[in-house]
Structure 1
Amino acid sequence: MRNLKIKIQYNGANYCGWQKQPDSLGIQGTIEKAIYEITNEEVKITGSGRTDAGVHALGQVANFKLNSKIPADRIPNALNAKLPKDIAVIECEEVKDSFHARYSAKGKRYRYLIYNSPYRNPIYKDTSYHVKYDLDFNKMCEEAKSLIGTHDFKGFMSSGSSVVDTVRTIYDVEITREENLITIEVEGNGFLYNMVRIIVGTLVDIGRGRIEDNLAEIINSKSRSKTGHTAPAHGLFLKKVDY
């Protein structure tokens, strides 16, 4: 069997998340259905990780095993003809049998969009977090520098996770602003459950003046009670996966 690697983009607004659910519409199951329609083969695709309900992707990666001889470069167009308009396969290549979309990953980069204005913008309603309060952008940028490096991010993990090792390495944090749109990008070797959304919520609370402790102190506390709120899912994008 061939091992095929695909790159996927999707707007997650209408889905329960990446993972296939028996009674809900997931990205994984939707793509598996499209593969069956073009190949008549039932496959299970493996993603680089799960994205929650409402989360989007610019560069989700998945792999699956297939007997069909359809050339890899023809598979994106074939799948996109069957997929709904809010999901697109943009790359496909045949890879070594040992490649695993999740376990072969070396790191990920996430993007989060904040629409910072007193009034909501309907264009960004499904793809950004509307924050109507004034934010100290410079302070947010300065405090975010403390995220870079290897730290125990236990305080930035939502309850319900079974992960024991909460040490992660953040390689880069980039925050930019263009008019009312603030973009936060975070790249690291791995992320805890809701870690990026809690980072964003903490930076927003710092920017609003609701949190007075500096971010380095908050990280060192390892306490969820010291970090900020969990930013909503619909502002989050999985931008890329590194292998």
Structure 2
Amino acid sequence: MPRYKVTIAYDGTDFAGFQRQPAQRTIESVLTRVVNKIAKNEAETIEVFGSGRTDSGVHAYGQVVHFDLPFAIPAEGLRHGLNSMFPLDLMAVAVEQVDDDFHSRFNTHGKQYRYKIARNEFVDPFKRRYTYNFKYNLDLELIKTAMKDLIGIHDFTSFAAAGNSTKDFVREIYDVQLIEYPELNEIHFVFNGNGFLYNQVRIMTAVLLEIGTKKRPVHDILRLFEVKNRLEAPLTAPAHGLYLEKVFYDQSDK
């Protein structure tokens, strides 16, 4: 059975996250239904595997999934077929046929997330689903300094949501950037790493914003690594500002 790697983009607003859930509209459930229709498989036994989960309200530019079809379809024809059947808040960006041993989750070398922050006095109605509006004064130089402390291999226990099922909280952050967009009155935080814990990016963002408003010392992240206590970093930035931007399958992409 030919295997296909599909890069998808979606507006996460009206999805209950990526993972399939009973009686919920999720990315995985929509993908599974459409892929099985294309395969003319009424039993819907073809599974769709994602590179990872995103929460309710989180968006994606470059989520990656894979699945097997019972017959070959040219990649561009499959992309058109998927998009003709997808809802308007989901799109196949790219499709390629891959080797049978490719796995969208287990072959990853890392991911890139982007968190968008608007700087308006009041919430822009056209950005409210896609940026976190933060009207308070921020010292961007303090944030840039603090970001350097995230880079490297660390125990991110303090940055993991309660109820996280993982037993290993060590992750490597390759790079963190603050990018300013004056014409949009926005700043973006971009995180590259080998993997991220549940809510990790949103918790890191909340801590950086606290540092930027001088509610935390500039190097408080180093203390959080040491204490390994989620109660020391209790805030979580809203889901609607977060985007899964890229999934890396080549070491050189990191």
- TM-score, length-scaled by structure 1: 0.96
Correspondence list, 1:1-243, <5 A: 1-41=1-41, 42=44, 43-179=46-182, 180-212=185-217, 214=219, 215-227=221-233, 229-243=235-249
Contact 1:155 1:223 in 2 (8 A): yes
Post-superposition Cα deviations, 1:16-57, rounded to whole Å, max 9, x if no partner, equal: 000111211001111122222322123210000000000011
| Structure-2 separation of matches of 1:105 and 1:13 | 26
| 1:178 shift after superposition | 1.5
CA RMSD of aligned residues (A): 1.2
Structure 1 spans left out of the alignment, 5+ residues: none
Aligned-partner SS, 1:78: helix
Aligned-partner SS, 1:33: helix
Range moving further from structure 2, 143-152 or 123-132 = 123-132
| 1:213 shift after superposition | 5.8
Contact 2:145 2:218 in 1 (8 A): no
The aligned length equals 243
Structure 2 spans left out of the alignment, 5+ residues: 250-254
| 1:228 shift after superposition | 5.1
Q: Matched residues, percent identical?
A: 40
| 1:104 shift after superposition | 1.0
| Structure-2 separation of matches of 1:224 and 1:19 | 25
| Structure-1 separation of matches of 2:67 and 2:147 | 37
- TM-score, length-scaled by structure 2: 0.92
